[in-house]
Amino acid sequence: MDKKQQSKNGPKKAPKKPQSNKKIVKIRIPLGPRFLVNFLTTIIIFLVLVSVYSSIAGTESDIKEVSISEIATSVSLGEIKEITVKGDKINAVLIDDSKIKSVKETGSSLTDTLVNYGVKLDEIEGLSIKVEDDSNFWLVALNIGGFLLPLLFIGFFFWFLTRQAKGQGMQAFTFGQSRAKIIDPNDKSQKITFRDVAGAKEAKEELLEIVDFLRQPKKFLDIGAQIPKGVILMGAPGTGKCIVGDSLVLTNKGLIEIKDIPKYFWVNPKNNDVKGAILPTFDVIRVRDTDQEASHWYDLGMQETKKIILQQGVEIEGTYEHPIVVMNEDGYLEFRKLENLKEGDSVAIKFGTGAFGVSNEVNSEQSYIMGLLTGDGNLSHSSRIGFTSVDEELVSSFKGYIKNNYPDTPIGLATDGITHTVTSWAVKKDLYEAGMSYLLSYDKVIPPFIMQAPKHVIIAFLQGLFDADGYFSRYSFGYSTVSKKLSDQVMITLINLGIVPQRRLKNEKDNKHPRPVYEITVSGTELEKFSREVGFRLTRKQEQMVKYLDEHNTGNTNVDVFFHISQIVDRSWRELSDKGLSKEGLSKLAHKNRTRKRISRQTLTEFIDAFKINGLHTEDTVYLESLLRSNLFFSPVSKIEKGYSRVYDFTVPKTHSFISNGLISHNTLLARAVAGEAKVPFFSISGSEFVEMFVGVGASRVRDLFKLAKKSAPAIIFVDEIDAVGRVRGTGVGGGNDEREQTLNQILVEMDGFEQNEKVIVMAATNRPDVLDPALLRPGRFDRRVTIDLPDIDDREAILGVHVRNKPMAEDVALRIIAERTPGFSGADLYSLVNEAAILAAREDRKTVSQYDFIRAIEKVLLGPERRSHLLSKKEKEITAYHEAGHALVASVLPDTDPVHKISIISRGRAAGYTLHLPIVERKFKSKKEFIADLAVTLGGYVVEQLVFGDITTGPSNDLQVATARARDMVTLYGMSDSIGPVALESDSGRVLFGNAPGSKDHSEKVAGEIDAEVSRLMREAKETAHKIVTENRALLNIIAKSLIEEETLERAEFDAILRANGVTPKRDVDPILENVG
């Protein structure tokens, strides 16, 4: 369903209420001519003040600001002709007359600062340096003016609003004010009615009672009927707040790409439950780390995305609504959606998490050699391994490893004189099994076994990689690669170890560089951590770095800073100063940092130590100390890009966050239509917006929201994602007395406090009704539940009609046919389908969207994009063709299966080929015969590989998982086992129900053994059925497979023609169950 943008403006005037004894205060701001004149006068005065201030301040703010290390580099390269120093500020004029500015280290002269960054004295002597006094009148005036003018204007503006509102509106400006978006029923641009919501017929009929009550309450009250106080909407999620598949996620098994989670953890394909995935998370409210087991993992298909790139080079790509942690303008942590981020926003990088795996497939010695080979090795020639180096220490390490582990293997020297070669399949096989690739420069990666290994094994690999390809130059460590994936892995691994590197695009792809080059550097305070945690094994490189660190102070580099917290620090310092406990040095430091937008980690440490020594313990000091100890590094957003990618997501209970790419990631329409239909004010808020860091704020916002709604009654309050605050109480680690539970308690109190004639209805939405607190669902609260099912064919046609509005459609578009081919699609899936079809048309430079675009889009949404570049060998192509032919043949011969719609051996998504089945008639039930037939069809490819090739590949692995899960459901959920009988032995896939512990068994170990035996029997019988069909129709199997090898794709008409030519009747357009009814 579409979501139209919601206005933040409240209704201009609330609808009239029946007379009561209660006194109602109405606040009204007059909008007459005098108001407009006063308002325009205020704006003009403000613009004049800004202009005057700008003319005095000059254009210094337009000068590009760079780090002091970049200034030092430019001096060394002779790119700067003049430098002006004012206090700690540096203004430089380049050779091309462009200007840059920076800030030097406090308390150090410019010369000392440049020398600390590796500039030679003779390079400084040829430089024109001017020192200006920063204590002149204009500087003081500018500092005072920059501080006072905004305050004066803000004070005047609020005084003006207060005067216009006659003093009654100021009570709204409170911290506990509700953040609900208010929709005016008279605003036509915001109005949504049931006509705008396609499908969901039964849900709309249920909600019409709500509409009727709000329109004609007297009719219900006269007869003694009471409309439910709360209505909860339940349904499957349509989209998620997700990130792209190559995002690296920290887990208890190490660093894993989020798309590969099912490879390393058990994921239930039916409801996306994930077992055993324990993730490091971050509690933004309490500003602390914790570990939490994820409950669900989702693959949510192709969606529009935004990529955020930080100044440090860290990046993340996710859906527009995907939130990450930032430092807001008030100096507090908050989740902010990617769509709301802008350049300059301060994003938190979580370093030093220390999440490592326990895989022992590779030891430290082998890991180091794998690092060396990843840097300067080659495995692309048959059984040969090559290591290219002129460094005797590295060559000795390589030769020593081969001699110690493969004593009979000779080591040769290539014709170039520097490449040392080993020709041995045994050695190469061991490296392949450990995860090594061909080591082509552009596809180098850290092998998976290394990524999931303990800390010492990961460090050994990095040391080998850096010994071979890393360098230490002047004042920083550096490493360059053309492999984007390897640079991502190195970046996130270093961050996990507690080192925050910087990455830049050293060379873009052009005529000189066939591939972009990514350079990772470590300098300043991070260089000390790097030397301590990783460093080099190669003696000359390590000695060079240690010598630099011994001779230079790598303290405050003005890079590791906290943004926007100056006012919080100043507030705490004033409390200390008022008690006479602030010493002169601390007072000077406070004065210097008062107007700054950022404070360094070193300076914040000094403040925290002073606060602790003097016994100052307030909410501010507790927050600042938590922030300092939280291992967060803040980096501004430098670039934002749009994209379109396959996205994935986790559900992490309690903290609702996980670490991805080093960043902290977080995990309506029907209700609004009810308000539009009833023509009443609509208050919309997300459940997560109630909860704040401070205890009591959530409850205060609940009170304020209900107060506003009662004043505007009749009205609707809509709480989206109510499971954010409405989960079962008392089940968390911290007990029952937390902010979320206080918020929930206040919601319950407010709903109990409704009078019968108050005409306020609370609606809520969730896709996790199983985790809600039972108190929310008892009579008198959310006692009406409306389930929104997946749309049927008529609903899908109607939804498609809504989504194709304002899109140019070709004459051949038939929405009914598209609806027939999309069973099981949700409203969000259909939106994605229409969008994908439009993208395909635009990509091919056509002005209208055709039926062919929709057909291709269906397959793309279902199976993923075609991967024609994923070429199969001749043998693999033959195996894939026979595999898919096996599925199709079994499905065509068995009576209780859906007809084959399409067969292809063109790779899509993760599959090398696919067989697409679509039902002729949509059904709500599935019979035992159909389940058994489906098992045989699913095993058809497995059976054919055994029969035709005498061997089994990894191709049927997903088929086996799907078939086994289906057979287990038959036995444990649906009572379809003859030996065990009609008993439901498991709850719905082990999901939590009203606080019950997950994973608890509902049967004994003996019964568990019987279940396993019954599942094996079903699988064995399905295999025998498939084997019999394939054996009896071997000639037809060969024909289908050969046709696939030649054509690559067979549509339904072509496949049916092959069946008829060989004596098999294609499926008729009659449902096999309904055929025998009556």
Distance CA 871, CA 877 (A): 9
Query: Would you kindly state where each structural domain of the chain is located, as residue ranges?
Result: 33-57+140-167, 60-134, 181-236+672-788, 243-353+633-666, 364-551, 573-629, 793-863, 874-1076
Strand partners, 84: 91, 130
Distance CA 559, CA 565 (A): 15
Distance CA 365, CA 372 (A): 11
723-764 confidence digits (pLDDT tens): 767 767 654 444 444 666 777 777 777 776 555 446 677 777
Quote the mean pLDDT of the chain: 77
Note the pLDDT of residue 119: 78
959 is in an annotated binding site: yes
36-50, 532-546, 687-701, 736-750: range with highest mean pLDDT? 532-546
Q: Quick one: 874-1076 is in which CATH superfamily? A: Peptidase M41 (1.20.58.760)
246 is in an annotated binding site: no
- Predicted confidence (pLDDT) at residue 970 exceeds the cutoff of 80: yes
Note the pLDDT of residue 527: 92
Q: Are strands 230-235 and 784-788 parallel, antiparallel or unpaired?
A: parallel
Distance CA 192, CA 199 (A): 15
Contact 722, 765 (CB under 8 A): yes
CATH topology of domain 60-134: 3.30.720
Residues labelled as active-site residues: 884
1004-1043 confidence digits (pLDDT tens): 788 888 899 999 999 999 999 999 999 999 999 999 999 9
CATH 3.40.640.10 holds for 364-551: no
Once rounded to an integer, what is the mean pLDDT over residues 68-92?
82
Task: Kindly state the percentage of the chain with pLDDT values over 90.
Answer: 25
- CATH class belonging to 793-863: mainly alpha
Task: Give the position of tokens 């490893």.
Answer: 401
- DSSP annotation string for 222-252: HTT----SEEEEEE--S----EETT-EEEET
159-168, 619-628, 932-941: segment of lowest average pLDDT: 159-168
Q: Which CATH number describes the domain made up of 243-353+633-666?
A: 2.170.16.10
Task: Place 204 in a pLDDT band, splitting at 50, 70 and 90.
Answer: low
Note the pLDDT of residue 991: 37
883 is in an annotated binding site: yes
- DSSP annotation string for 851-920: HHHHHHHHHHHHH--B-TTSPPPHHHHHHHHHHHHHHHHHHHHSTTSPPEEEEE-S-BTTBS-EEEE--S
Which of 249, 248, 252, 663 minimizes the C-alpha distance to 454? 252
Note the pLDDT of residue 450: 93
Note the pLDDT of residue 995: 38
| E-assigned strand segments in 688-746 | 715-720
Distance CA 75, CA 16 (A): 73
CATH 3.30.420.40 holds for 181-236+672-788: no
